[in-house]
Amino acid sequence: MFCFLLLLLFATGLNAQRIDSTRIYHLPSKFTGQEYEIFVSVPQSYKEKDTAKFPIVYVLDGNFMFHVMQTNYSALRDVEAVRDMIIVGVGYKGSTTVMASMNNRTPDYTPTKDTAFERMLKDYQLNVRTGEAAKFVSALQQEIIPFVETKFRVKERGLAGHSFGGLFGAYVLLKEPTLFQNYILSSVSLEWHNFKLLELENDFYKAGNRTLNAKVLITVGEQEEKDRMIDPMKKFVNAVRQHAYKGLNITDRIIPFEDHGSAYLAAFSQGLKLLYKK
């Protein structure tokens, strides 16, 4: 009987996960020249005529990562492990896989122009630009976030990204420190352009910045490359801790058994539980 009751409760939880509504919008950007596909999921507790505000998490690579985050959140919410929140996926019109969005995400998520990387991709018949993250920051700050947050009541803004998406998240933390309060950074591509982001963090500190009001979970899979992924994450975390930014709460984790293609599954779940626990 006890097992039957557990099964019944679990099945009820699965049914509840499907009730959250997802709305899809298309938004062209004057800053990047791209057309973004915006996925928005609001919880059942969100009432149009209410005044309550909800935490919001923006998920990069939204065409495929939005559903991962939404599923993680729904499962955690149904066991009351996290607060009710709004999930937003920021993707690209017509893209359904990472490879299909290479031309879109690479310029948006990379902070510096790397001509060697561009030449390498040309060998694979890919004509991809790099180094336009500053434009995408402007698109987020002046177009995407205002578009979403004039439609929905929000508070406590977060950003989640994997790989290049994690690289962009770390860049935003230094470029526009007040734009987001929470970060889930999975398998951050810190090796980008000869570890340029480590240099940018040092420049940020040398410029006199001493405050970073943010909570950050940064993770990497145990089975990812040590010299290109694991060690750079450790260096980045050690650097920001040594600089002792006021207001920064950073947690770093190496996720057992995971590689670059799977680590984000655990990272998103752990990030939600850490940053949005009920």
pLDDT tens track for 109-164: 999 999 999 999 888 888 899 999 999 999 999 999 999 999 999 999 999 999 99
Q: Which residue has the higher pLDDT, 208 or 19?
A: 208
Strand stretches in 96-236, DSSP E:
154-162, 182-186, 211-221
Tell whether the model's pLDDT for residue 88 goes beyond 80.
yes
Q: Looking at residue 96, what is its pLDDT?
A: 73
Q: Looking at residue 20, what is its pLDDT?
A: 63
Tell whether the model's pLDDT for residue 231 goes beyond 60.
yes
Tell whether the model's pLDDT for residue 1 goes beyond 70.
no
| Contact residues for 41 (Cβ-Cβ < 8 A; gap 6+) | 20, 21, 22, 23, 66, 70, 86, 87, 88
How buried is 49 (Cβ within 10 angstroms: 0-12 exposed, 13-18 middle, 19+ buried)?
Answer: exposed
Percent of the chain at pLDDT above 90? 83
Q: Looking at residue 95, what is its pLDDT?
A: 78
Task: Look at the block and give the residue holding tokens 């005044």.
Answer: 51
Tell whether the model's pLDDT for residue 5 goes beyond 80.
no
Domains of the chain are 2-275 (3.40.50.1820)
The mean pLDDT value of the chain amounts to 91
Q: How confident is the model at residue 18 (pLDDT cuts 50, 70, 90)?
A: very low
